[in-house]
Each structure stands twice: as C-alpha cells, then as structure tokens.
Structure 1
Amino acid sequence: MTNVCVILYVKKYAIQERIGMNYDFDGKVALITGAGSGIGRATAFAFGQSGASVVVSDVNVQGGDETVDLIKQAGGNAIFVKCDVSDAGAVNALVAQAIKVYGQLDYGHNNAGITNIQADEWKEDVWDRALSINLTGVMHCMRAEAGAMLQSGGGAIVNTSSINGLTGNPSQPAYVATKHGVVGLTRHGALKWAKQNIRVNCVCPGVIETAMTEAVASNPQYRAAMENMTPLGRMGQPEEIASAVLWLCSDQASFVTGHPLVIDGGATVA
C-alpha cells in the first residue's frame, strides 16, 4: 500500500501517524486492552508503528478487527483476541495467546474501562459492573501480564486511570472510586515487582475526544463546556495519551515507576 493510501486509511479511523515513530520496539510484544477504539486503538497503532508486535484486545470484535487491520495496513504486525477483562480466566487465556503467538510479553496497556455518565452509579448493579471492569479487570491483567514478564526478564505495565482518579466528581461515584483504585493498584504493582525489572505506571487523562465522549461532545454547548474545562481550551486527542504510554514503556522512562502521569491540558491545576 502506498503512503498516500496509508494516510487516507489512518484518517478514516481518526488515528494520527505522528506517534510511534520516535521509539524502537522491534522484537517486543505489546498487549493493549480496550483497543477497539479511542485511546486503546491509538496506543495499539503507535506500538505497531514503533515495530512492536501488537495483541489487540476488546469485547468489541468489530472494533478490534478494525484496529488490527489499521496496524497491518500501515505495515505493522498484530492479532486480535476477544477478552472481557472482568473474567480472570479470559484474561489468563489472552496472555497465554500472546505468548503462544509471539513467544513473550514485554508491555501491557490495561486500558479497558467503562463510564456511566447518565446512570445512577449508587445502584449496586451499576456499581458492581464498574468495579468488575475498571478495577478488578485491571488487577486481572496486571497479575497475568506480570506473570508472563517474570518469565522473560521484565517489562512495563501502564494502566489507564483518569484525572477522576486523583480528584473528585459529584456525579460519578463508581467511576471515581474505581479510578482512584487503579492509581493505588499501580503503586502497589510498582513496589511489588520493582526488583524483578517490571515497571508499573498509569496515565490519568482529562477530557479526551473518543467514542466514549462523543455523545456529549456532539452537542455544541456541552462541547464548549468540556473545552473550557482545560486551560489549553480544547479536548485532548487519543494520540496524546498514546504518546505518553509509549514513553512510559520505553527506556527513556527507565527510572519511572509507580507514577500517575496526568495528561489533562492543565485541568487539575486550573
């Protein structure tokens, strides 16, 4: 495929090619959950552009297949494995498949998550679902990924938290609680596996323009409000989070572990 065709294909899925080109992950393997769209897709594409073999995972088969196709059309190597991260057995099978196909696991981006903007998160079923995916799912992934990394001498794990994992939000108690929990799990993992050459960090995005925020951002009034939340005056892009994930996995961040990296356009300091 020509470069022009690759660019057109990339634009179709709102992925920007500027990321992934400053890192050399040749011979490495990266696993990304929630990679069927948004931040996960951007991260998977960036790893593919950097030379890594990519294991794309999501409950959304169509989205996951599209991400794999996107990576391959741009010259990368990727497979899709469907996985519900709230199911420990499914997560173990996901990591086992990564090892079976590629022989190792070097990086994990635990990005799968949900938000319930219009749901009553005080209801137990809503609360339990958020907990099982956003927090327990991250635990399942960390445990399985670290087990694989210990067999090959180390690696790097990056979890997706949120600025709501560091601050409060009056309308989303379950989301806030789970994202605070992800920061805590990240710090625990950093200490637990530091001597085994596994670094564990998390990214804390602010308002990012993804399918998850599309329903709100499509309303001009709400979009303006979201843009005004940040001193930079705009919503963030998934590629800007992906860039941070790749940096945290790279040797350029070799002395960074246990850190919640805030990427929010200045929202938390405003």
Structure 2
Amino acid sequence: MPFRRIAVGGPEEAIHPDALKAALAEFISTLIFVFAGEGSGMAFSKLTNDGPNTPAGLIAAAIAHAFALFVAVSVAANISGGHVNPAVTFGAFVGGNITLLRGIIYWIAQCLGSTVACLLLKFATGGMTTSAFSLSSGVSVWNAFIFEIVMTFGLVYTVYATAVDPKKGSLEIIAPIAIGFIVGANILAGGAFDGASMNPAVSFGPALVSWSWKNHWVYWAGPLIGGGLAGLIYEFFFISQSHEQLPTTEE
C-alpha cells in the first residue's frame, strides 16, 4: 500500500550531500525550463508589439515548453529524478517515492529556479513584464481549477508510467520525451483558457516578479490535487497491486 511507504524523513536529510545535489539539479532544471517557456511568451509579445495572443502564439508556447521540459527532465533525471514541478514531487510523495522533507527541499529549489529565471528574463529583456498566469475572458476560477486538475493528472500519470514504475523497462529512455509531449499537448488544450500551468513553480516565479497574485491559488491547488490523485491511483492500482508472472513449468 502506498500509504505505508509515506515517510517524513529525518533532519539530517536536509544537509545530506545527495539531497543538496538533487536540490541544485532541480533549481537548474527549473530555471532552464521557465527561462525558455516564459521567454517564448515574452518573445512573442515583442514580435507582435504586445498584441493579443493568436493560435500561432499558442503553438509556439506548446513547442517551447515541450522542448524545454524534455531537456530539463533529461539533465536532472539521474540526479534528482527530474521532477521540475512541485506537483510531480507531491505525486511522488503521496505514492511513497520521496520523503516529505526532501519534497519540501525540492519545492524550495523549484520555486527559486523559477524566480531566478524570471528575474534574468526581466533583466535581459530590458524590463519587459514576466506575465503571471491568468484566466481568459469568460473562464471562471472553477473552470480553470478543473483544467489544472485534469491536465496535471495526465502529466503526473505519464511520469509514473514512464519513469517511476519499476516495470517500465525500456520506457525510461523515452520518459523525458513523453513528459514533454504531454505538457505541450495540454498547453494546446488548455492554454487558451487559463494558460495551462500544470506546475506551481512555473506560476510562482512570474507572479512574484510581476507581483500579480490574482487567482494564484488555482495554479497551486489544481496541480497539487491532480498530481496527488495520479500518484495515488498509479501507485495503488498498477504498482502495489501488481503481481509478477508465475514461472512456467518446464516439461
């Protein structure tokens, strides 16, 4: 049962070299991801003179986020697991695959990485705004809430199936590609409605740097619920309840 494996972790874990290396890897990968993802949106604004978003802009954002996440997960996978997302970390925690203390360390590193990426973008672009995630016209907070739950469920479920499941076999090789693809696809589906964050850290950095917190809770609550549900369901039904095939009897 996944609940039996949930652990808080000891204080020594906060200063353990492996935990610190993992936190640094999460910081750098999240910085890489947010710099490219948020930067693609800022580049679109510059090219269109702050014009309204268009289908081309949505496609560009999906491609930029998919490519950047593929790289960010790949470069951190062997060090920290390549979470690059507090919702993924939370999903791993409720499934009993990471301790609470290490998860908090990851969260801090991820949010710092996102914030530093936005500060660098603001400086590099001569003071352009790092736009916080917001709801489109006609979209309620509850619409966005459901969007974030469902999209993040798909993301974390993909992480479990391709990277966490001990029976994944050769799927681990394509895990970063699959993770990047589901994020890009979800941006195409939900980007026009609420920006399609699926990642509290990605939402936190721009909100902090631009100091824009309207409806910010949606971009934490939705992904954490979706990620937690995916972790529990996959761990319970496909990992904890699975059985090895019985050996065949030789004639």
Instruction: Name which structure has the greater RCO, CA cutoff 8 Å, separation 6+.
Output: 2
Q: Higher Cα Rg: structure 1 or 2? A: 2
Normalising by structure 1, report the TM-score: 0.28
Greater strand content? 1
Report the TM-score, using the length of structure 2 for normalisation. 0.30
